[in-house]
Structure formats: C-alpha cells, structure tokens
Amino acid sequence: MISQLTYEQIVEKIKKEKGLNEGEINSKVSEKLAKLSDLISKHGALHIIANELGVSVFEDYSGKDFKIEELREGMRNIAFNCKLLKIDAIRSYNKNGREGKVANLITGDDTQAIRVVVWDETLIDGISNGSMPSGSILHVSGGMIRQNNGRKEVHLGRGAKLDLNPKNVKFDNVVEQEVSNVLNKKIIELMDNDINVKISGTIVQVFEPRFYESCGNCAKKVEIKEGKSFCNTHGFVKGELVPILNFYFDDGTDNIKATCFRDNVGRLLGKNTDEVKLLKDNFSAFESIKNDVNGKQFALIGKVQKNEMFGRKEFIINGVQEVNPTILIKEIEVKVS
C-alpha cells in the first residue's frame, strides 16, 4: 500500500535527501504560506516544497513487515509481527447513537510494546471466544497508527487482519511495557488528571497487598457464582489472581499515595508472579519483606487521580523502573535546593 508521510517524516526526509537543516525547511514553509496568503495548511505547504525539491511524500509499504519501533503516527495499512501480551479489555460503546464493541490488546516484539485497538467486530468475536489467548504470536495487517495520550497505538478497522501463528516467526525477548512521551515531574508539581508523568523517589510506607480475581480472557474483575469465577462477557472462566499494592512515595518535595497492579507489584517487591501470589492472606510472609521494600528508590510512570472521598491526589502506576540511589539523591538535592 502507498501511505502519505507525516509532517515530521517529510521534514526528516528532506533533511536526509537534500542536506537542509530544520530551520531552513521551516523558513521555506513560512515563505510558501505567506506567498499563498495562508490559503493552505502548513502540511500542505511542506508538500509543495518537497515536490519542488523532488522529494516523495509517499512511501510504499507493500509486503513489508515493520518492527514496532519503526511505526509512526499517520502510517496506514501497515503490517507487523508481535506477541499478544494481554487482552486488556473488551468493551461495548454507544456513541452518537452508534453501538459497537472495541477491544484493546497489549502486544510487543523485540523492539517495543504497543496497544492494538480493534474496532472490527469479526476480529473482536475471534478474540472473545478464546481462540487467541495471551502468549499467541500474531501477524497484524491493515492497521493505522494514531497518537493517544502521548503514546502510539495501532487501530484495526474493517478489512484489517489478525493472523494467528505466522510461519517462521519467533520472539526470544519481548518488550512488555508501552512507550509514551513521559513528562518528568516533582510530586509537588503534580496536577489533577496528569497522565504519562514520571516521578522519582523513595517508598516510605508500604501496605500488605490485596488481591482480586479477573477473567483470563479479558482481564475484567469476575464475580463468584456457584463457587466459580463468572465473567459477564465470557461466562464461567478460570479466574486469574490479580495483586494490588498501595504505598506512600516521597521525592523530597512532597509525598503521595501510589497504587500498582499485576506485574508492577512484583517489580516493586522484587518477587516473581508466583511469589507474589503466596503473599495472599499471609501477613507474616509479607512482614518479612516489608522492611526490604521501605526505603527502596524507584521511578514510577503513571497518572494522577483525584480521590474525591479524601480530597487528595493519588498516583496510579503503569510502569516501574528501579533507579540508581546515587543519581536519585543528586536529583532530589536539585529539587529541594
């Protein structure tokens, strides 16, 4: 398929092929806009300049399988191989009188992880019936790349495909955490509804983890019916135990209550999935590791959520990075100076 390049991609292509710097290109765009009395968009002006310089603003993606790190906003009809890490959610929606379903998948290859948003109901039916379990290798085709809250996503509409177990595709190491444009902040600077922010500091008080059961297909919380796990979407299922960890986090400017789920609990506690599950209803086992966790330094990536009941900001974590204590101390010294 032929796909049009984004503004940034065209600038990079002109720089590479014609040796112009970004300032020179922007100057040409401004001149073109002035000449045409702003009757065209900035993107349109850049198109004209590229054509005048003999630089193609289209790229042929036919038959090419991309690595996830190569995907850029605006690309259409792209294809790539990946591992299905998690079926994040399948939801129903009603927008402007139009009803439908949307599925969110977390996938990854050996370069990056990315969210795949599925709108085609035939594909969603295939995901819902359990024929595409977590851990499956997929070939995704017909996707379009969009930006959402600072991260890129693949959107699959009508005509897109999810092919299971493509031949000769194998991943030894898969990146499991999505990449987004993260803003570094101090805790004292956090605002209600901040998203994709990173705070660095120290765990000062950690609480015993809690657990709930989720559906192994869609990860939604399940009910217990007749002594079995019941999902409103998939019926009776094998429940998956999900840990939740709450703690207070301090960076020298302020402290905040933080909450993490699933694999991030293990990353903070320094335990694997099975070891975390052993902490359920086992207070003495948790007490033995609690002192090791208090005082540990991390960088946390997530969003700010307002707790209306207590009138305070809280931090919901979607990424955890252990940090070098020496570097963290220097950062905190700068923050409080």
What's the whole-number mean pLDDT along residues 93-113? 85
Confidence (pLDDT) at 324: 60
Confidence (pLDDT) at 91: 86
User: Strand, coil or helix: what is 128?
Assistant: helix
Q: Which residues of 200-226 are buried (b: 16+ CB within 10 A; e: fewer)?
A: bbbbeebeebeeebbbbbbbbebeeee
User: Are residues 218 and 234 in contact, defined by beta-carbon separation less than 8 angstroms?
Assistant: yes
Confidence (pLDDT) at 61: 67
Confidence (pLDDT) at 44: 82
User: Does the pLDDT of residue 100 top 90, yes or no?
Assistant: no
Pairing between β-strand 183-184 and β-strand 255-261 as defined by DSSP bridges: unpaired
Largest CA distance in the chain: 75
| pTM of the complete model | 0.52
Q: Tokens for 119? A: 């709108």
29, HSE (Cβ side, Cα atoms, 13 Å): 21
Q: Tokens for 274? A: 């099975």
Confidence band for 243, pLDDT divided at 50, 70 and 90:
very high
Helix, strand, coil percent values for the chain (each to nearest 5): 25, 40, 35
Asked which of 19-23, 71-75, 85-89, 185-189 is least confident by mean pLDDT, the reply is 71-75
Confidence band for 51, pLDDT divided at 50, 70 and 90:
confident
What's the whole-number mean pLDDT along residues 235-261? 91
SS3 string of 12-24? HHHHHHHCCCHHH
| Residue whose C-alpha is closest to residue 47's, from 1, 3, 2, 5 | 5
Compute the distance between CA of residue 32 and CA of residue 40 in angstroms, rounded to an integer: 9
Centre a 10 Å sphere on the Cβ of residue 95 and count the other Cβ atoms it contains. 7
Q: In angstroms, what CA-CA distances link 217 with 85, 121, 125, 147, 196?
A: 12, 16, 12, 26, 27
Confidence (pLDDT) at 70: 85
Compute the distance between CA of residue 288 and CA of residue 34 in angstroms, rounded to an integer: 70
User: Are residues 179 and 113 in contact, defined by beta-carbon separation less than 8 angstroms?
Assistant: yes
| Residue whose C-alpha is closest to residue 170's, from 138, 131, 126 | 138
What's the whole-number mean pLDDT along residues 77-95? 87
Percent of the chain whose pLDDT exceeds 90: 37
Tell the residue number behind the tokens 């198109």, with chain if given.
47
Compute the distance between CA of residue 14 and CA of residue 51 in angstroms, rounded to an integer: 10
How do residues 125-166 score in pLDDT, each as one tens digit?
989 888 888 889 999 999 888 877 667 899 999 889 999 999
User: Does the pLDDT of residue 328 top 60, yes or no?
Assistant: no
**What is the secondary structure of 266-299 as a DSSP string?**
HHHHT--HHHHHTTTT-HHHHHHHHHHHTT-EEE
What structural domains and CATH numbers belong to the chain? 2-59 (no CATH), 68-164 (2.40.50.140), 183-336 (2.40.50.140)
User: Does the pLDDT of residue 337 top 50, yes or no?
Assistant: no
Confidence band for 250, pLDDT divided at 50, 70 and 90:
very high
Confidence (pLDDT) at 2: 45
How do residues 279-305 score in pLDDT, each as one tens digit?
998 888 898 888 889 889 999 989 999
235/138: higher pLDDT:
138
How do residues 197-231 score in pLDDT, each as one tens digit?
899 999 999 999 999 988 876 677 888 888 888 88
User: Does the pLDDT of residue 329 top 80, yes or no?
Assistant: no
253/217: higher pLDDT:
253
Contacts of 1 (CB under 8 A, 6+ apart): 60, 61, 62, 76, 77
